[in-house]
Structure 1
Amino acid sequence: MKPDGPHRPLLDPDLLKAIVAVVDCGGFTAAAARLHSTQSTVSQKIRRLEDLVGHRLLERGSREILPTDAGQALLGHARHLLALNDQILDVMAGAAVGAIVRLGVPEDFVASRATQVLADFSRHHPQVKLEITSGLCSGLVSSYDRGELDLILVKQRRHSRAAVACRPETLAWIDSARHPCLRADPVPLVTFPPRGLYREDIIRAIEAMGRNWRIAYTCSSLNGIQHAVAAGLGISLLPLRTVTRDHAVLGAREGLPTVDDYEIALFHRPAADVTVQALARALADMLDEERHGTGHRGLS
């Protein structure tokens, strides 16, 4: 039987910090340097933590160290507890931070009006500290599922996962305005990496046209995709709002289909606090304004 009440052991934050450092750094040596400790001390802390929780937490391979299933389950909670520990210390030190909201957004929203929405939100909620993480949508969803993010704004196929709010995402086929290459044979394609958004849609559409194709450029950065297309490395499929004057928009005239099965979705947990829900409403309002072409009205 599991001990309960006052007999349950308390997890030492130093032990949690040790396993987070080992996983983030990929090994004990680098983790020891980050923690200003020794490798043997870090190893002892991991063993102590494994004894406390009753599970092996790390797989020590010849090349890399990876968390076990139990270790992966512990990591999200460990990061959350360490963040809470830092928050308590900030408050006790007199910092005017009442809450921390960890938000994940795709790269193309970082430089968009979302930044203005976040600035308005911060002015209306001065006690809230925003921690913003940007990246590929698949990575943001994984971080959210591990408990590392409180709120995410991501792109997904319509209705693939229930969201607290979702809006259609309009996509556009794009070529270079100065160096078009749609007529090249095979057609050069610019895409995100395998399993990245839109990649399979691009390939299926070109094959449906009876055209030969080749992957000419792969990049995980939206900015990289935009510049590659503008430079004439290939055609691609991106959100319409990311098209620039250096792009030529393609469509039915060129034999390319409309791709309309994507949406922008907001996720937070049912028990999210009022601050997270308030930020979610502000972001949902922004999506509505962009959808209907209205100006930014700010927050009330």
Structure 2
Amino acid sequence: MTVGRFNIELLEAFVAVAEAGNVTHAGTKLNRTQPCVSTQLRRLEERVGKPLIERTARTMNLTPAGRILYQHATEILRSHEEARLRLSAPELTGTVHVGLPEWYATGQLQSIFCNFVRIHPNVKLEMTVADSATLHDMLTNNEINLAIALVSASKPEPDGVVEESLHWAVSDSCPLTDPLPLILFNQPCPFREMAFATLARAGRQWYERITTTSVAAAQVAVMSGAGIGILPSGALMEGLTLLKEQDGFPPLPATQLAIYTQTTTPSPIVDYLEEHLQDLLKNAITPRSALAGKTQPDLRVV
């Protein structure tokens, strides 16, 4: 059997459905109607010659052929988008210094910056990894040009705030009786006050067992069973257990991230990067591949 040529719009519809989990949400993401997306899925299946999605009255799942195509389709679309950006992007030359929270220093969000310099080979990228308070100070002192940082009440309200979930994370060997041993980040980390207020409302007692400036150190401490960590989704690791309300751990409020830039030093590079980073930031935080399988670590929810 010969598979027909792939069409970019058909692949976009297929990947959007795989990541959204249903046709309606995929259509909203693509700004296409639900019948249009359904028709494009059907046309793609006709070209492949095999069903890609198994549909029942209540669920949708990728078939084995669908999982194979999803892996290749995401790479095709990534390459297509990179080519489109390179051909349409302005000629940028110079240096841009960006700041990232530590738990985003690796993975999808960092790859966004790496793709940016591939698209703009005459741009030098300098990257600082630090806590959000430090990044805000560096912006104020004009030491960096752009930062993705936790929203600060002392700063002007930014545009395009993106929310990320916080979780109670432990290993199986950690005791869950009061007083609870907590693994926390140093002041002025906002996770601390969120955890304290939530535990106080639940009538739980706690003490700080380990305090650190390092996300990696906190992850190791939680994995070792030394205590309960308060970690954002981007810092979760395979093998951790996430505690829920039925375990006596009420939901934590979501954190808020935003893109901040200097106001005193305008730069075409920073303007262009900020413009294209907002949607990419949302995609980096939002869980993907609803049908295609997990992209987050294999976590245990109790």
Tell me the TM-score normalised to structure 2 length: 0.60
In structure 2, the CA distance between the partners of 1:159 and 1:148, relative to structure 1 (3 Å rule), is: closer
Distance in 1, Cα, partners of 2:252 & 2:152: 11
SS, match of residue 198 in structure 1: helix
In structure 2, the CA distance between the partners of 1:232 and 1:209, relative to structure 1 (3 Å rule), is: same
In structure 2, the CA distance between the partners of 1:262 and 1:161, relative to structure 1 (3 Å rule), is: farther
Q: Which structure 1 residue ranges, 5 or more long, are not aligned?
A: 1-96, 296-300
For residues 14-34 of structure 1, the C-alpha deviation after alignment (integer angstroms, 9 at most, x for no partner) is xxxxxxxxxxxxxxxxxxxxx
Pick from 161, 169, 172 the counterpart of residue 164 of structure 2: 169
For residues 150-201 of structure 1, the C-alpha deviation after alignment (integer angstroms, 9 at most, x for no partner) is 101001368964224321111111111x313222x31100000132230122
Tell whether the 8 Å contact from 1:157 to 1:263 is kept in structure 2 after alignment.
Answer: no
Aligned amino acid, residue 210 of structure 2:
Y
Q: How far is the alpha carbon of 1:139 from its aligned partner?
A: 0.6
SS, match of residue 194 in structure 1: coil
Pick from 255, 261, 267 the counterpart of residue 273 of structure 1: 267
Answer yes or no: is 1:249 the counterpart of 2:242. Answer: yes
Distance in 1, Cα, partners of 2:190 & 2:286: 24
* Counterpart in the other structure of 1:136: 131
Tell whether the 8 Å contact from 1:153 to 1:264 is kept in structure 2 after alignment.
Answer: yes
Answer yes or no: is 1:123 the counterpart of 2:118. Answer: yes
In structure 2, the CA distance between the partners of 1:98 and 1:287, relative to structure 1 (3 Å rule), is: closer
Instruction: Show the 5 A alignment for 1:76-225.
Output: 98-156=93-151, 161-176=156-171, 178-183=172-177, 185-225=178-218
Alignment RMSD: 2.2
In structure 2, the CA distance between the partners of 1:175 and 1:116, relative to structure 1 (3 Å rule), is: same
> Sequence identity of aligned pairs in percent?
25
Q: Which structure 2 residue ranges, 5 or more long, are not aligned?
A: 1-91, 290-302
SS, match of residue 165 in structure 1: coil
Aligned amino acid, residue 271 of structure 2:
Q
Runs of 4 or more, structure 1, over 4 Å off, are 157-160
Higher relative contact order, chain-length normalized (CA < 8 Å, sep 6+):
2
Tell whether the 8 Å contact from 1:103 to 1:132 is kept in structure 2 after alignment.
Answer: yes
Aligned amino acid, residue 179 of structure 1:
S
Tell whether the 8 Å contact from 2:221 to 2:227 is kept in structure 1 after alignment.
Answer: yes
